[in-house]
Amino acid sequence: MENNLIRDLRLCHGMTIEQMANRLGVSKSRISSAESTGNISPKLKALALREFPLNEDFFAFLDQKKKHAELYGSEDYEAHNK
């Protein structure tokens, strides 16, 4: 889960990379890099989890994403749910 934590939090809240960056007070490139590499600094992780707690909605989102992957294989969840 952690490799996609930033992306999953962003998608769960229906935000663009730019919106999430603005909400966390970081650059778009920092969010994009965290999503593409899976390398999340402890500071970015703390900011994200403070702003977006892991709650029932988040875990329901992960369940929905898993079901989507089972139906569509490796197709991109974000592209399918725009």
CATH of region 2-80 = 1.10.260
pLDDT, residue 1, reads: 42
The dihedral through the CA atoms of 4, 43, 26, 12 has a sign that is positive
Residue 28 is predicted with a pLDDT of 97
Q: How confident is the model at residue 81 (pLDDT cuts 50, 70, 90)?
A: low
CA–CA separation, 6 and 72 (whole Å): 22
Mean pLDDT of 19-45: 94
Could you report how far apart the first and last alpha carbons of the chain are, in Å? 22
Q: What is the pTM of this model?
A: 0.80
Summarised one tens digit per residue, pLDDT across range 37-48 is 888 999 999 999
Domain locations along the chain? 2-80
Band of residue 72 on the pLDDT scale cut at 50, 70, 90: confident
